Amino acid sequence: MKLRSALTALILAGGLLMAALPAPVAAAAPSWNWVSGDIRPGLQPGDAGQPVKILQGDLWHIGLNPGPVDGYYGPLTESAVKTFQRQQGLPVTGRLDQATFNALMRAGGWWAPTASSAAARAGRTLDMVATAYGWGDIGPWGPITYSGQPVRQGVVAVDPNVIPIGSVLWITGYDHPLLPKGGFLAYALDTGGAIKGNRIDIFIDGPQQSVLAFGIQNVKVTILGQ
């Protein structure tokens, strides 16, 4: 009888203790949309997925080096974000907070969130023949693309009848030491007299000998949107 009473008291005490503990706090939902892949404020080191790829592509686009466009927010991407924050006079956190996100969009980020962006990125993938061009191939008109933008890493020349000028692309299947491993975001901003049909010309920021070493390669080009 005494044992039963002791057990009852212990159970009651345990119940009171559990009742006194605060309820578990639900984990905050990420502030980006993993389904559509839209980039959003809230990305930070350790995150992975399509939103990180878009962030990395944006960093390449504005002249910073986040490392391979592999969808992993690692040390190189964090370092590029910190560099951007210093350039913008923002707190150097290495995270894509709201102020950094806003500055990135002003600086030329391609994926400002819109309702239609998910549908725009559900594009087609083309099998294409790729060549490369570099600074040694720039003509007398100077380092300006057909679209009026400066020539830079990430720019490609296309046939506008196949890929509209201004399109954002995801290119894979190539092999070259000066391009990100596994794939990279590219911007269809240029054209070329020999670039007709399923041809693409990739600008490589490097020595002309390395550019020529690219040769002719078969690649896959996914049109993500405009």
CB atoms within 10 A of CB 216: 9
Length of the chain (residues): 226
Give me the CATH code for the 50-113 domain, please: 1.10.101.10
pLDDT tens-digit series, residues 55-83: 887 787 787 888 887 889 999 999 999 99
Kindly tell me if the per-residue pLDDT of 54 is higher than 90.
no
Calpha distance 78→66 (Å, rounded): 7
154 in Cβ contact with 60 (< 8 Å): yes
Q: Which element (helix H / strand E) includes 224? A: strand 217-225
Calpha distance 33→75 (Å, rounded): 23
What pLDDT shows up at residue 137? Answer: 84
How confident is residue 173, by pLDDT bands cut at 50, 70 and 90?
very high
Kindly tell me if the per-residue pLDDT of 212 is higher than 70.
yes
- Range(s) of the chain covered by CATH 1.10.101.10: 50-113
118 in Cβ contact with 104 (< 8 Å): no
- Which of 5-14, 34-43, 55-64, 113-122 is the least confident region? 113-122
Mean residue pLDDT of the chain comes to 76
What pLDDT shows up at residue 92? Answer: 96
The answer regarding whether domain 118-225 maps to CATH 3.40.50.300 reads no
Report residue 107: phi and psi, to 5°. -80, -5
Alpha helices in 36-187, H assignment, sequence order: 50-61, 75-87, 98-107, 117-121
196-218: average pLDDT: 94
Q: What DSSP letter does each residue of 20-60 carry, written as one string?
A: HSPPPPPPPPPSSBTTTTB--TT--TT-BSHHHHHHHHHHH
Kindly tell me if the per-residue pLDDT of 122 is higher than 80.
no
202 in Cβ contact with 171 (< 8 Å): yes
What pLDDT shows up at residue 55? Answer: 85
- Which of 2-6, 186-190, 198-202 is the least confident region? 2-6
Please tell me which residue, 144 or 94, carries the higher pLDDT value: 94
Amino acid letter, residue 55: L
50 in Cβ contact with 33 (< 8 Å): no
- Range(s) of the chain covered by CATH 2.40.40.10: 118-225
160-175: average pLDDT: 87
Please tell me which residue, 118 or 124, carries the higher pLDDT value: 124
Kindly tell me if the per-residue pLDDT of 208 is higher than 70.
yes
What pLDDT shows up at residue 140? Answer: 67
Calpha distance 224→155 (Å, rounded): 15
Kindly tell me if the per-residue pLDDT of 34 is higher than 60.
no
Greatest CA separation for the chain: 102
Q: What is the DSSP letter of 67?
A: S
125 in Cβ contact with 220 (< 8 Å): yes
CB atoms within 10 A of CB 138: 13
Calpha distance 203→48 (Å, rounded): 27
CB atoms within 10 A of CB 107: 16
